[in-house]
Structure 1
Amino acid sequence: MKKRELLPHCPDAERALLGAVLLDNAAWPQVAALSPGEFYLDSHQKIFATIQSLFKAGTPADLVTVAEELKRSAELEAMGGASYISSLTDGLPRLNNVTHYVRLVKEKALLRRLVYASQEIAKRAREGPENVADLLAWARSEIPQATSSNGIAAGVLLSQVEPERVKWLWRNRIPLSKITMLDGDPGLGKSLLALEIAARLSRGQSLHGDDPRLHGGSVILTAEDGLADTVAPRLVAAGADRNRIVALKYAPDKKGEKTVSNIPVDLPTIEAAIERVGAKLVIVDVLMAYLPSDTNSYRDQDVRLALTPLAEMADRAGVAVICIRHLTKAPGGSPLYRGGGSIGIIGGARAGLLVARDPEDPSLIVLAQTKSNLGPPAPSLAYRIEANSDGVPYIAWKGESQQTASLLLAATAGDEEERGALAEAKEFLQQELESGPMKQTELKLAWRKAGIADATIRRAKMILGALSRKEGVGKDGYWLWELREKAKGAHIRNMNTLGKNGNSDAGLTPEESDAYSKLFKGAHAKGAQEPMSTLRDQECVEN
C-alpha cells in the first residue's frame, strides 16, 4: 500500500474534476477527455466511470443520480457512502480551471505509466539471462507506449486505415456522419425544407436526384416552431411517417426533464433520441439558440467548443446533422461568410447550403451549394412553397436552376443590406467588448475575419459611443477599445470628450479625432447634418 501511495498522483485535482461535473454538467465535454484508468484512486475511477455511463444513457449526472447508480452496483458504501460523493463538491475550485486539472491528472497518469514501465524493464534486466539486444529493443518500444495516452502508441498509421467511401444522406449535398449548414433569410422555407428531408427519409423516398433511397428516422431540435401547430402539421403535409421522427423540447430554464437547450451539454440526450428511432438525420433549428449562453458566436474558439463535440457525435452515431442559420445583414462577400456568427461555424461543417429567392423569378426559391468538401458540386434546385387544402405549407420542387449561391446573394445587395451591415457591426462590437477592453489590433483581426468592413466598424463605433484609449508609451504603447458603459470613470476623464470643433468625439485615437474634425468642418461648410456617414480614407483604423 505504501508503494502505491508514493506513485505520482494529485487527489485534489481528481476531486475537483469530479465535483465540477457533478455541480455543472457543462464541464463534462472537457473532463470527457480523460479515461477511468487515468484517475489514481479506485473510488475516483468508479465515480468517473459511473458519470460516463450516465451521460452515455442520456441521464444527467449529479450527486443523487451518481450515488444511486453506485448504490445499485453495491460500490457506494465501500467508498464512504453518499457523504463521500457529496464531499467532492466541498471547497470546489473555480470551474474555469477545469482544463488545468485535466492536464494535471493526465500528467500524473503518464508519470505512473513511466514508473510501471521502468519497474518492468528493471525486473527483466535483473532476472536474465536474456538476449541483451532483444531486451533493449523491447525497452525502447515500451517507453513510447508508456508515454502515450492510455499506454497506446500515439497516432494511427495510415497503412492500417481501410479507405471508405463517403456515405450520403443526399448525394453530393448532405453527407452522413458530418455537419451541414443550411443558411438563409427568414421566410424562405429553411425549416420547411429540413422537414421535407426528414419526411422523405422516414418513408424511404429518395431525395431529388438521388438514388438509392435511404430509410431512417430523424431527431428534430426546434427553438422557434411549435410542435402541435407547426412541426406536426408540416410533417403530415409532407407525408412523413411520424413514428420515425422524434422532437426534443427546447426549455432552457427547465430542470429534470429530457429537454435540450445546450450543445454540447445535452448531446447524451440527443444520442438517446437517435437510438430510439434509428435516426439518420438530426436537425438543429436554429443553431444559435443551442449554443451555451456564454458563447461568443463571433469567436472561433467559442463555437468550436460546441461544434467539435457535435461533429464527434455525428461521426459516432453515423447521422447527418443539419444546422440552420439565418443570414447576416452584411451585403456582398463570399456566401461562406454570410451565415450568422464566426467563420469557424462553416469551417467546422463539411457541407454548406443556402436558400434565397430567385432574382429572375421571385416566385421561386433556390437551394444552392456554398461548400462541398466531400464530393463534386451539386446543381442548384428550385422550389416553391405551396399549401394544401388546410393551408399547411409544403415544398414543391421545380427542377434544377442555373442560379449559384454567389449570384443569388449578389442580387440581393443594396442600401437596405448596407444598413443591415451597420447593425451587424454594432452587434459585433457589443459582443466583443462586453467582457471588457480589447486591443485594437486584436479587434481588427476579429472584425475582418467576420467579414465586416473597416469603414462599417468605424461608423458602428461612433454610433455606439465606444471609447479608445492609449496604454503605454512609445513603441510599447497600444490602443484599447471599450464600451462607454463598461469604462471606468477615471478612464473617461483621461479621454478627449470634446472634439476640436465642438463635436463630441470621446474615445477617439488622435488619427480618428483629426479625421472627424476635418470632415466635420467640410460637412458643415456644405450644410450636411451627418458628417460621419461620409467618412472615407481619412478614417482611423490602420491597415
Structure 2
Amino acid sequence: MRGARPEHRPSKEAAPEREYAGTVQISRASDVKIEPVSWIWNGWLAAGKLQILGGAPGTGKTTIAMSMSAALTAGGRWPDGTRASVGNAVIWSGEDDPADTLIPRLVLSGANLSRVHFIDGVQEGHEKRSFDPSKDMPALRRKLLEIGDVRLLVVDPIVSAIAGDSHKNAEVRRGLQPLADLAASMKCALLGITHFSKGTGGRDPVERITGSLAFGAVARIVLVAARQQEEAEDGRTVRLLLRAKSNIGPDDGGFEYDLQPAELKSHPGIFSSSVQWGVAVEGAARDLLATADATGDDAGGGSPLADAMHFLEVELAEGARAVTELESAAGSAGHSWATVRRAKKALKIEAQKGGMKAGWVWELPRRCSSSSEDANKKGLAPSGSVEHLRGDQSIVEVEI
C-alpha cells in the first residue's frame, strides 16, 4: 500500500541481548565499617590472611611452624615474649609423618596436643583418598567449623595447593585464592611453607620463593628462615627468622633461633628437635640474608666486611675489649653486627669469657712478628714460647 511505513526489521548484524546469571555487587566506601587487622601474633601472623614461610633446606621451617602451633595451643609465648591467646591449630603436611616427626616436635615445643589436628585424607563414599588442597576447600571448611576456634592453618608445602603450573602467575593466583578465601571466612592465620629457589642468593627475599612471584604477591606477609655461615660465640649455629614483606605491618627485623635436639621424656628412645628462640635482630631481610649467606672469603677492599675488619683492628689495637662495648661502637660507626661477627672470624679474633661483669671479650690473635720485635729489644724470647736451634742455628719459636 502506497504511503505505508515499511515494517521494521532488525538488522542481521545487531547483537542479540544476553542474559547474565550473576549481578556485580558494589559496596559504597562510606557503608563499609573500618576494622583493625586482627593479629594471632602481632606483626607476624594475621588472622584471615595468607602468610608464606620460605627458606633453604636445613633451616627448620616445619619445626618453626610446629613451634608456632605449640605456642598457640598451649597459650605459650611468642619469640618476642608476648603471650599467645589459646586456640586450635590444623596442620596438613604432604612431606612429614605426624607420628614419627611432627608430633614429637610438638611435644618438645610444649604443645597442647588435644588442640592440634592433622588432615589425614578425604572420605568419599566407601573410599578414602589423599587430601588435595587444590579442590577440597569446601570439605575442609565444614571440618574447621566442626572443630571450632581454629586460629592457625598450616599447609606444608603450599605449592600443593596449585593444581596447574606453579611457575605461572595466573595458575598460582587461581590455586591460592580458595585457601585465602577460607582463611578470611574462618578468621584464622594461614601459614604456607615453601622453599627458596636454587641460585637466587643476593636477590630480594620475596623473589627467592620457589615458583611464580605470585606466591609472594598474594601473601600479605612473607617470612624467611636462614642459617648463618659462621658460628656463635658458644659454638652453636646461628639461624634467623626474618620478616621479608608485609602489606599490613612492619616489614623488617626478626629473631635468632637455634634447633635443639632432645629425647622425649614421655617416650624414651625417641629423639626430635625444637626451636629455641634467641635475641631480636634489626634490619632489612635482604641485608641480613646477604650477611648470613656470605663467608669470610669475600673480604675484598671497600666491602662492608673489609670495613668491619678494619674497624675491629682499630678497636682492638690496644688489647681485649668487651663484646658489649664493641657492639655499641659498631652501631655508632654504622656497621652491621652480623658483618662485624664475620669480620671477627676472618681475622681469627679470639673470644674469651671475661667474668660475670665483663661477659665475653674479643682480642686480636698474637702476631709473632710484633712479639719477636719486643723480645729482641729486651734480649728475651717472646712470651709464651721457647727457643730451639735448628741445624742452621736460626731460632724457631714453638708455642707452649
Taking structure 2 as the reference length, the TM-score comes to 0.62
Do the aligned partners of 1:245 and 1:277 also contact (CA within 8 Å) in 2? Answer: no
Deviation at 1:180, TM superposition (A): 0.3
The residue type paired with residue 107 of structure 1 is E
Map 1:524-535 → 2, pairs under 5 A: none
Q: Give deviations 1:202-247, integer Å, cap 9, x for gaps.
A: 0122312264531100110101101110011111111111111111
Deviation at 1:377, TM superposition (A): 3.4
Cα separation, 2, equivalents of 1:164 and 1:402 = 29
Do the aligned partners of 2:229 and 2:294 also contact (CA within 8 Å) in 1? Answer: no
Structure 2: gaps (5+ residues):
1-17, 265-270, 296-400
Do the aligned partners of 1:258 and 1:269 also contact (CA within 8 Å) in 2? Answer: no
Aligned Cα root-mean-square deviation (Å) = 2.5
Do the aligned partners of 1:178 and 1:320 also contact (CA within 8 Å) in 2? Answer: yes
Map 1:359-370 → 2, pairs under 5 A: 359-361=229-231, 363-370=237-244
Structure 1 271/188 Cα, relative in aligned 2: closer, same or farther at 3 Å?
same
Structure 1 281/343 Cα, relative in aligned 2: closer, same or farther at 3 Å?
same
Cα separation, 1, equivalents of 2:175 and 2:294 = 32
Do the aligned partners of 2:76 and 2:83 also contact (CA within 8 Å) in 1? Answer: no
Q: Are 1:315 and 2:189 matched, yes or no?
A: no
Cα separation, 2, equivalents of 1:172 and 1:291 = 27
Aligned position for 1:344: 214
Aligned position for 2:255: 381
Cα separation, 2, equivalents of 1:174 and 1:366 = 17
Cα separation, 1, equivalents of 2:32 and 2:191 = 28
The structure whose RCO (Cα within 8 Å, separation 6+) is larger is 2
Cα separation, 1, equivalents of 2:238 and 2:169 = 35
Do the aligned partners of 2:51 and 2:220 also contact (CA within 8 Å) in 1? Answer: yes
Structure 1 252/397 Cα, relative in aligned 2: closer, same or farther at 3 Å?
farther
Map 1:241-280 → 2, pairs under 5 A: 241-249=112-120, 256-257=127-128, 259-263=130-134, 265-275=135-145, 276-280=147-151
Aligned position for 1:463: none
Of the candidates 273, 290, 299, which is equivalent to residue 393 of structure 1? Answer: 273
Deviation at 1:186, TM superposition (A): 1.3
Q: Are 1:333 and 2:203 matched, yes or no?
A: yes
Deviation at 1:260, TM superposition (A): 1.4
Q: Are 1:161 and 2:26 matched, yes or no?
A: no
The residue type paired with residue 305 of structure 1 is R
Map 1:99-498 → 2, pairs under 5 A: 107-109=19-21, 148-149=23-24, 154-209=25-80, 211=82, 213-249=84-120, 256-257=127-128, 259-263=130-134, 265-275=135-145, 276-292=147-163, 295-331=164-200, 332-361=202-231, 363-377=237-251, 379-390=253-264, 391-402=271-282, 404-411=284-291, 412=293
Deviation at 1:166, TM superposition (A): 0.5
- Structure with greater strand percent: 2
SS in 1 for 2:35: coil
The residue type paired with residue 189 of structure 2 is A
Q: Give deviations 1:353-392, integer Å, cap 9, x for gaps.
A: 0000124437111000110110123531001000223431
Cα separation, 1, equivalents of 2:142 and 2:77 = 26
Cα separation, 2, equivalents of 1:349 and 1:208 = 22
Do the aligned partners of 1:221 and 1:250 also contact (CA within 8 Å) in 2? Answer: no
Aligned position for 2:14: none
Structure 1: gaps (5+ residues):
1-105, 111-147, 415-543
Do the aligned partners of 1:180 and 1:352 also contact (CA within 8 Å) in 2? Answer: yes
The residue type paired with residue 372 of structure 1 is S
Structure 1 250/257 Cα, relative in aligned 2: closer, same or farther at 3 Å?
closer
Q: Give deviations 1:266-309, integer Å, cap 9, x for gaps.
A: 112322332215210000111123322xx111111000111111
Cα separation, 2, equivalents of 1:361 and 1:254 = 55
Do the aligned partners of 1:283 and 1:323 also contact (CA within 8 Å) in 2? Answer: yes
Identity across the alignment (%): 28
- Structure with greater helix percent: 1
